[in-house]
Amino acid sequence: MGAQLRVYKRRIRSVTATKKITKAMEMIAASRVVKAQRKVAASTPYAEELTRAVTAVGTGSNTKHPLTTAAETVTRSAVLLLTSDRGLAGAFNSNAIKAAEQLTERLEREGRQVETYIVGRRGVAHYNFRERTIAESWTGFTDEPSYADAKKVAAPLIEAIQKDTAEGGVDELHIVYTEFVSMMTQTAIDKRMLPLSLDEVAQESSAKDEILPLYDFEPSAEDVLDALLPRYVESRIYNALLQSAASKHAATRRAMKSATDNAGELINTLSRLANAARQAEITQEISEIVGGASALADATAGSDK
Amino acid sequence: MAAELHVALVAADREVWSGEATLVVARTTSGDIGVMPGHQPLLGVLESGPVTIRKSDGGTVVAAVHGGFISFADNKLSLLAEIAELSDEIDVQRAQQELERAKAEGDEAAQRRADVRLRAAAAR
């Protein structure tokens, strides 16, 4: 076997191995997307009921709460960025980080101090590498977030927003995450989560057209709101975490699919080249044999004379 | 047939139970409350405790609920909880162990959770 041919054969073997790996990763990601979507669906009843309850309190009473009242002058904002722990997901993480950076820039232009909270190792690594300060970060659960994880993330944020700005608290909370639109489309979006605008909540509620009954609050409207709003924030963060996880798996699936396709294409090209090399080798051998034979024939014909 | 109300017991990550019932007893921060069909619209904060649902076919469902809300309107009752378990899902042995461990460590929240589980399991 010629040297050229051997090199091609070796490269085909290595690309085939890579293709098998990416194919497996694609299939794993595909099954995880379905699982993540199912989790999003399973958490919907809770989120819906909670939204309904918040709407009910919001419309049924004039209670004021630190989580719903906007500060007159916003001096400090918190940005919560959701990324993933692992890469190999195409532009998933860089899109989310880019969206967070644009938001940060916009807020800073408006003269606000921005505190960044990050979920996911990728985002943390990105910020650490650029030596930017991170207020707090969480890692290790982005593939399959549980409600307890969402609670863990929400607790310091709610605490920060309830604190006075002068004592290091924040006035508003933005969240940047990747919305799962469909298997093919995931978009990084930013939303202002706190202070909550009850009108917006009411619009989100599925029951926007129906008139809500006048509820009897137990023990009182203030206490209900007090207990309800942190739960609502937690449930929104949980939903964002789940969507982000589903988006990450979908992005991985797509990235791995194109990697598999590219590997297939590369194998095709390489086997064509290998075939050509083999053919060239055979042609050369034949011409060498023919050349040698005719030289021999010429020599014998000459000696016959 | 007695009047019915529709009950949905929903935890943060799943729907635990839903169906028709004639009476629901739950513990709010200001005491136990019983809801029957036609109750006035209500929104309350739940304490950790067992929730008893009397089904319209006569059976009873008991669940351990840890924190959450009860809301009732239009004959539809929703029980929202961060964590909710039906009594037959509860592993009594594990809850017992959990209770002892929590007592030893002085972890009051865990102790209360285990206690609620045991009470719900005992009521089945």
pLDDT at A60: 66
**∠ at Cα B68 (B67, B69), nearest 5°?**
145
| Band (A209; pLDDT cuts 50, 70, 90) | low
Residues B73, B111, single domain; the answer is: no
Overall number of domains in chain B: 2
- CA of A83 vs chain B CAs: smallest distance (Å): 21
Residues B26, B68, single domain; the answer is: yes
pLDDT greater than 60 at residue A305: no
Amino acid at A120: G
CA proximity to A1, closest of A290, A281, A259 = A281
Residues B22, B72, single domain; the answer is: yes
Least confident of A136-150, A216-230, A258-272: A216-230
A80: its two tokens: 């919560």
Residues B14, B54, single domain; the answer is: yes
SS3 A197: coil
Domains of chain A: 27-257 (3.40.1380.10)
Amino acid at A8: Y
Which residues numbered 8-27 in B keep a CB inside 8 Å of some CB on A?
A: 8, 10-15
Which H or E run contains B86? strand B76-86
Q: Domain range holding B39?
A: 5-87
Residues B28, B73, single domain; the answer is: yes
pLDDT at B2: 60
CA pair distance A49, A191, nearest whole angstrom: 21
Distant-in-sequence, close-in-space partners of A255: CB < 8 Å, separation ≥ 6: A88, A89, A90
Which residues in chain B are contacts of A212 at CB distance < 8 A?
73
DSSP letters of A117-179?
Answer: EEESHHHHHHHHHTT---SEEE-S-SSS--HHHHHHHHHHHHHHHHS-GGGT--SEEEEEEEE
**Which phi and psi angles does A296 have, rounded to 5°?**
-60, -45
pLDDT greater than 90 at residue A226: no
Cα-to-chain-centroid distance, residue A75: 30
Residues B62, B106, single domain; the answer is: no
CA proximity to B63, closest of B95, B32, B90, B86 = B86
Among B28, B40, B42, B45, most A C-beta atoms within 10 A, so best to mutate, is B45
SS3 A29: helix
Whether omega for the bond prior to residue B41 falls within 30 degrees of 0, making it cis, is: no
pLDDT greater than 80 at residue A67: no
pLDDT greater than 80 at residue A168: no
Distance, first Cα to last Cα, chain A: 41
pLDDT at B65: 87
- CA of B109 vs chain A CAs: smallest distance (Å): 15
Q: Does A54 touch chain B (CB under 8 A)?
A: no
> Measuring CA to CA, how many Å separate A174 from each of A19, A99, A133, A238?
40, 11, 17, 15
Q: Under an 8 A CB cutoff, do A213 and B43 touch?
A: no
Which residues in chain B are contacts of A234 at CB distance < 8 A?
12
- CA of A177 vs chain B CAs: smallest distance (Å): 20
CA proximity to A124, closest of A171, A168, A87 = A87
pLDDT at A205: 63
> Measuring CA to CA, how many Å separate A46 from each of A39, A162, A192, A289, B10?
12, 25, 21, 82, 6
Arithmetic mean of pLDDT over chain A: 87
| Band (A249; pLDDT cuts 50, 70, 90) | very high
Q: Are A123 and A94 in contact (CB under 8 A)?
A: no
pLDDT greater than 90 at residue B122: no
Residues B101, B43, single domain; the answer is: no
pLDDT at A263: 96
| Band (B102; pLDDT cuts 50, 70, 90) | confident
Which residues in chain B are contacts of A42 at CB distance < 8 A?
13-15
User: Can you tell me which residue has the tokens 């926007």?
Assistant: A208
What is the reported pTM? 0.84
Residues B74, B36, single domain; the answer is: yes
Residues B57, B78, single domain; the answer is: yes
- CA of A264 vs chain B CAs: smallest distance (Å): 41
Q: Under an 8 A CB cutoff, do B12 and A46 touch?
A: yes
Which residues in chain A are contacts of B74 at CB distance < 8 A?
213
**∠ at Cα B30 (B28, B34), nearest 5°?**
50
| Band (A223; pLDDT cuts 50, 70, 90) | confident
pLDDT at A90: 86
CATH of the domain at B25: 2.60.15.10
pLDDT greater than 80 at residue A250: yes
Residues B26, B62, single domain; the answer is: yes
| Band (A216; pLDDT cuts 50, 70, 90) | confident
Residues B62, B28, single domain; the answer is: yes
Q: Does A43 touch chain B (CB under 8 A)?
A: yes
Residues B50, B110, single domain; the answer is: no
pLDDT in tens, B7-30: 988 888 888 888 899 999 988 888
Amino acid at A134: I
| Band (A7; pLDDT cuts 50, 70, 90) | very high
B46: its two tokens: 């739940």
